[in-house]
Chain A
Amino acid sequence: MFCITSFPIEELPVAKPECAAGATVVFEGTVRDQNEGRTVESLEYEALESLATKEGQRILDESLQRFPILGATCVHRVGHLSVGEVAIRVVVTAPHRREAFDACQWVVDEVKSRVPIWKKEHYADGSSGWIGAKGLTVDG
């Protein structure tokens, strides 16, 4: 299951793995206090929620086709997040650890590149900027 939430992910429990699972890999992406040499104070995430949920679910379904795993879930936060808060959690269960690690990495990469979610960084100097938006204006 893929879902978007404004609820703190760190307060959500990780589901108990299936009996056939020998490995559960949990990845949590957290808000870092630095990016490209600048001090980050907080992040703001927004999503095109309906399409993000559909595309996110497609990624999880694809992961089950591509890797010998038992399950994959992902929850992504939206709204205002402080440094240290969890922005994304991916949980993959598999009979063995290698496939679980590989699939988890793949899911995170695909979510970052395909799901319509955006983030804005707020810096210590009071300025802010949307990630990925640089150099894409008509003016270059």
Chain B
Amino acid sequence: MQDSVGAFLVQRLTVQYFANLREERGVSDETRETQARTPVQLYEEIANEYHLTVALSALRVAVNDEFSTMDAVLKDGDVVAFIPPVAGG
């Protein structure tokens, strides 16, 4: 989303982490003010800030409790869950 002068707006997003990613980040969830527009931008921002070693290519993403894609457009208030490789059973 851009405003009338073309500047990117800041959105507030909730981010959830699990398993090895949660341990690397050090929290299970957080609220961020960010200019990231997609999960891939958001993850790159966070990985860069906290020196995360989990590769983006290893992750899936869920937005508001549904599986989504890394290039989905995020809206203010969205809950974004980064999902490392699952291992139930």
Give the B-binding residues of A (Cβ under 8 A).
29, 45-48, 50-52, 54-55, 76, 87-88, 108, 111-120, 130-133, 136-139
Find the B residue at minimum CB distance from A112. Answer: B89
Q: B53 — which chain A residues lie within 8 A by C-beta?
A: 137-139
Q: A54 — which chain B residues lie within 8 A by C-beta?
A: 65-66
Q: B65 — which chain A residues lie within 8 A by C-beta?
A: 50-51, 54
Within 8 A of A (CB), among B5-30: 16, 18-20, 23
Q: B23 — which chain A residues lie within 8 A by C-beta?
A: 130
Find the B residue at minimum CB distance from A56. Answer: B88
Inter-chain CA distance A114–B83, complex, in Å, is 11
CB distance from A117 to the nearest CB of B (A): 3
CB pair A112 B67 closer than 8 Å:
no
Inter-chain CA distance A46–B54, complex, in Å, is 18
Inter-chain CA distance A134–B57, complex, in Å, is 13
Interface of B is mostly: mixed
CB pair B20 A130 closer than 8 Å:
yes
Known A-B contacts A132-B84, A133-B84, A138-B55; A118 and B18 likewise in contact (beta carbons under 8 Å): yes
Inter-chain CA distance A131–B85, complex, in Å, is 8
Closest 3 CB pairs of A and B: A117-B88, A136-B58, A118-B19
29 A-B Cβ contacts within 8 A? Answer: A29-B89, A48-B18, A48-B81, A48-B83, A108-B89, A111-B88, A111-B89, A112-B86, A113-B86, A115-B86, A115-B88, A116-B62, A116-B81, A117-B86, A118-B18, A118-B84, A118-B86, A118-B88, A119-B88, A120-B19, A130-B20, A132-B86, A132-B87, A133-B20, A136-B55, A136-B58, A136-B85, A137-B58, A138-B55
